[in-house]
Amino acid sequence: MDNQPQDQKSWKKAATSLSLVLLGSGMTFAGGYLADNQQKVAETASKLAVEKVNAAIPLPGNTDPNFITKVVEKVGPAVVRINSARTVKTQLPEEFNDPFFRRFFGRMPMEGQDRVERGTGSGFIISNNGRILTNAHVVEGADTVTVTLKDGRTFQGKVVGRDELTDVAVVKIEANNLPTVTLGNSDTLQPGQWAIAIGNPLGLDNSVTTGIISGTGRSSNQVGVPDKRVQFIQTDAAINPGNSGGPLLNARGEVIGMNTAIIRGAQGLGFSIPINTAQRISNQLISTGKAQHPYLGIQMVGLTPEVKQRINSDPNSGITVSDDQGVLIIKVMPDSPAAKAGIRSGDVIKKLNGKSVGDATAVQKAVEEAQVGGNLNLDLRRNGRSMSIAVKPGVFPTNLQ
């Protein structure tokens, strides 16, 4: 029986890391592999969260009553359907190979057989010579990728690169003079602005849904995917399986995000990767085939008086906190850039590059902006004393991805 007091559990639960991948997810990505018969659809429904996300009807905010139609006419031809297929070998439990078991049951009929899983997602063309942005999970493990344009033309696609941490991928088709999207600036988004999603939910090509921007800067931990490094856009525009990788647009028809995920059982909660993030990662994938992510190697939590009290009252925490504000470092990974710079668990980050920080999200954002090998100056409090430490972010370890 677990005899730990509830308040001791709660602060530990809050100590989530934005510089260190944690396991566990409450989110279902809306685009993964869809089965090609009813039985497989039923089996995968729980994984794909097929429930609709009901979009709220936004208030009129544009003087042109047909502006959504014009956006769709402009952008629709550059939105594609991506069909992928991967071969999966059937593996039976080791116990089934036991000679004693085989003596009575013989060879299992499905043993060693391969099966093909097929999936459908969306994407959008960013260059007229055939570069396409989509989600990494749409083409994960794919043996073949087929891209279908709105005009019906079909091309074989090649995965240029995938980045698991941001769920961004680039696919290339051999074609020229293709219609392309216009990229906007996701850093300027504000809640309440129009949001228009175009994609291929459940194979229904070029479906359009509308809503608003419900929120910005939603951390991966808030959304329920702590293994991702994205500050998500939240929207109530309906996003369903097959929408993954499609564009989220503003009222001018500019791409402001890449539709990515829904939360199982929620209503009106869709999430998109900001286009500035997707563009930054895609540029690296196009240049080198992979993306590098800066890494400090710390677990941290934003301090409040309540968090301070819970930590200090926990005899097993091994940390005593005297500050009410800042970002508390819970753990430092061995041999990480933070450890090599002399950062310790129990340190409280007060400022980063001269700017005050109050939550882990702000620290993570600063690390991303510093890039690998950049300079970060941390103003810390340690055992009641103020000190400064300089650290250079390293490359996020592949064994943590």
Tell me how far apart the alpha carbons of residues 335 and 296 are, in angstroms, rounded to a whole number: 10
Q: Is 137 a catalytic residue?
A: yes
Report in angstroms the alpha-carbon separations of 64 from 68, 71, 251.
9, 11, 10
Closest CA to 80 of 119, 120, 124, 31: 124
Q: Which residue among the candidates 17, 137, 214, 336 is catalytic per the annotation?
A: 137
Helix axes 6-14, 305-312, angle to 10 degrees: 120
99 — phi, psi (to 5°)? -55, -35
Tell me how far apart the alpha carbons of residues 94 and 87 are, in angstroms, rounded to a whole number: 21
Closest CA to 363 of 279, 295, 292, 280: 295
Report the relative pairing of strands 144-148 and 154-163 from DSSP bridges: antiparallel
Q: Which residue among the candidates 17, 163, 167, 220 is catalytic per the annotation?
A: 167
Tokens of 398: 């592949």
Report in angstroms the alpha-carbon separations of 267 from 53, 58, 238, 304, 312.
5, 15, 9, 31, 38
**Position 343, amino acid:** I
Q: Is 244 a catalytic residue?
A: yes
Q: Which residue among the candidates 122, 214, 219, 244 is catalytic per the annotation?
A: 244
List, in sequence order, every residue forming a beta bridge with 301; answer none if it has no partner. Answer: 328
Tell me how far apart the alpha carbons of residues 333 and 299 are, in angstroms, rounded to a whole number: 8
- Active-site positions read 137, 167, 244
